[in-house]
Structures are given as C-alpha cells and as structure tokens.
Amino acid sequence: MSDKILVVGELRENTLRNVTFEAIAAAKSISADGEIVGVICGAGDLNEQAQEMIYYGADRVVTVAHDMLETYTPDGFSQAVMAVINDESPDGIVMGHTSIGKDLTPKLASKLETGLVSDATEVTNDGGKAVFTRPIYSGKAFEKKTITSGLTFVTIRPNNIAAPEKDESRSGDISPKDVDIADIRSVIKDVIKKASDGVDLSEANVIVAGGRGVKSEEGFKPLQELADVLGGAVGASRGACDAEYCDYSLQIGQTGKVVTPDLYIACGISGAIQHLAGMSNSKVIVAINKDPEANIFNVADYGIVGDIFDVVPMLTEEIKKLK
C-alpha cells in the first residue's frame, strides 16, 4: 500500500507561502508514489488556496475554516491539525521550518508521541527509505537521519528544496472539515507588523544585509535600493539591530532568521560566527567591507574591499543599466 503524506500548508495574508509547495516536493521525495494530502487552516473560504496546493502536486486537500483560525495560535491550530491527523492516519507529516512550523510541530509531535526531524535542508530516498539532511552545530556540520519505524514527521528549511512545477491541469478533491475550536488560552486581539513590505526575508532569493558598518538607519537606504533593483529583501546583523539602525524583524543569524538565498550580499558585516550561522549556506555570498581581514571574507565567494557607501550605489547603477 502506498504511503499517505500530510502536508500542512501555511498562509500569510490569505496567500500560501512558497515553503508550502517546497513541502509538497519533500513529501514526494519521502514517498514517490504515495498520496499527498494537503491541510490548510484559516478563516473564510479556503478553496482557492486548496486548489493552488493541488496545482503544485497535492492529490487532495482538507480545509479547516474557523473564525478562531484567522490568526495563528498554538492552541487553535494544533486542535485543527490534530483533528485532520486523527481522521487521515498519515504515514508522514511535512511542514515548513518557519516561525509557525517551529512552534506548532513540537506540540503535535508531543501529542502523537513521535519524533520530529526538524530543519531538513534536503530529502532523498535510499532504497525506499527517506534520508533527511539537516545542519548541526550552527551549520558547521550536517547529519543525515532516517526514520526506521513509526510516523515520519519533518520540517523543511525554506528555500532549500525546489518546489514542483505548477500544473493548472491537475485536479483533486477539496474537503472542508468542521472542527470545534475550544479552550483557547490566548486570543490575538491585534497584530502590529514591523516587518518591511515586499519580499519575505525567509523566502527571498536575493538578500542585501547590513551590519554595524551602515552606521545609521539612514545607511540602510542604499541597501534597500540595491535590494529593490535585484527583486530581493533587506536583512541585518544583530549588531545593526542592537544599534537600533533597523528593526529586529530583519535580523539574520543564530538568534534571528536562518536564510539560504541564491545571492547574499553582506554590506559592512564583520562575519561573527553567530551571523554566519544564519546565512553561510547561501548559494553565492558577496562580501563588501573596508577591512580586508574581516571574517566574512572567509565564507564569501566574492569579496569587495571598499566603503559600502561607494560600492553599493555603483552596483545599483550598473545593475540598472543591465536591465
């Protein structure tokens, strides 16, 4: 009998995050001929989002709509997803290793009394067994894990596993499920967003990040211009956040976001080990720093020794010419 893999989708402002589609790809790697069942929790009509999951490879989707699921709470979402798990009895569960995924999946694993492989960056199949690669020791090493028995439960790091091609000819069943969401210990009254508009930092293909070398809040403006030209997002080191040059929502590193873009441009960042833990797995790293001995050059693919306030505007202008 083929395996059944549950993929828990994640919405942001009623739109599925790209990591949802990457999770579908991971599910197919776990069981190539298995049934992929999507799960979407939210408020209102979720049919459009469910159909999107089917276009990207889900065989069918279960939606759980409830007013208490409009904004994420661990109590509400764990009740909703557990109800689907109990109905479906899946062989595996996959979700993105996002802020929600990191909060929700340990609670589900505890309720299910099962293990959890978190933050997988690669999923392969070896003789019918899924092999999960995940970073350890702040990205200094990688380990490979297999699950020999029981439920396969995994979260995947965003922007590491290629999403399937979208196929709008695909069709599948969309089943709404009623769940009585009760005993919510925390209720979200209001959401105040500090994150900048535009590309989601954790899923951006290009990131322009600033450190203490930007010197001020004003110093981030050239970085934002370069990011806009490249269609990317702006990030920051903890040093820049601590100096109040930008909001902590932009922080990349061991105590911030972990990112793996195609291109990471580090501007005025010295390269402390805590920051490297959050970005060293980027596909191409470009470092711009006045100090030729800065540690960031040890991990960079390309290095530019110079003042970021001279180099970054020049890069921006040259890229504009190419466009």
Give the pLDDT confidence of 112-145 residue by residue, as tens digits. 999 999 999 999 988 888 999 999 987 889 999 9
What does the pLDDT read at residue 185? Answer: 83
Residue 120 near residue 135, CB atoms below 8 Å? no
What does the pLDDT read at residue 110? Answer: 97
For residues 22 and 81, state if they share a domain: yes
Domain limits at 245?
A: 201-322
pLDDT digits (tens, 9 = 90+) for 173-224: 999 999 999 888 877 778 777 655 567 888 899 999 999 999 999 999 999 9
Question: At 276, which CATH number?
Answer: 3.40.50.1220
**Which of the residues in the chain have pLDDT under 50?**
1
For residues 167 and 206, state if they share a domain: no
What does the pLDDT read at residue 128? Answer: 82
Q: In sequence order, which residues have a C-beta less than 8 Å from that of residue 245 and are 6 or more positions away?
A: 210, 212, 214, 215, 216, 217, 219, 220, 236
For residues 97 and 148, state if they share a domain: yes
284 part of a folded domain: yes
Nearest CA to 315 out of 288, 283, 279, 289 is that of 288
3-state secondary structure the chain: CCCEEEEECCEECCEECHHHHHHHHHHHHHCCCCEEEEEEEECCCCHHHHHHHHHCCCCEEEEEECHHHCCCCHHHHHHHHHHHHHHHCCCEEEEECCHHHHHHHHHHHHHHCCCCEEEECEEEEECCEEEEEEEECCCCEEEEEECCCCCEEEEECCCCCCCCCCCCCCCCEEEECCCCCCCCCCCCCCCCCCCCCCCCHHHCCEEEEECHHHCCCHHHHHHHHHHHHHCCEEEECHHHHHCCCCCHHHEECCCCECCCCCEEEEECCCCCHHHHHHHCCCCEEEEEECCCCCHHHHCCCEEEECCHHHHHHHHHHHHHHHC
For residues 227 and 283, state if they share a domain: yes
Q: In sequence order, which residues have a C-beta less than 8 Å from that of residue 263 and are 6 or more positions away?
A: 205, 206, 207, 230, 232, 282, 283, 284, 286
For residues 250 and 126, state if they share a domain: no
What does the pLDDT read at residue 1? Answer: 39
What does the pLDDT read at residue 140? Answer: 83
Spatial distance between the Cα atoms of 281 and 258, rounded to a whole number of angstroms: 9
108, 143, 176 - which closes a domain? 176
For residues 16 and 150, state if they share a domain: yes
For the record, the structure tokens of 198 come out as: 């535009």
For residues 161 and 281, state if they share a domain: no
Q: In sequence order, which residues have a C-beta less than 8 Å from that of residue 43 and are 6 or more positions away?
A: 65, 66, 67, 69, 70
Residue 46 near residue 182, CB atoms below 8 Å? no
For residues 86 and 38, state if they share a domain: yes
For the record, the structure tokens of 118 come out as: 């978190």
CA distances for 12 relative to 178, 248, 315, angstroms: 22, 19, 32
Spatial distance between the Cα atoms of 224 and 275, rounded to a whole number of angstroms: 20
What does the pLDDT read at residue 232? Answer: 95
What does the pLDDT read at residue 197? Answer: 59
Spatial distance between the Cα atoms of 243 and 314, rounded to a whole number of angstroms: 26
What is the tally of structural domains in the chain? 2
For residues 9 and 156, state if they share a domain: yes
Strand partners, 305: 289
For residues 168 and 206, state if they share a domain: no
What does the pLDDT read at residue 186? Answer: 79
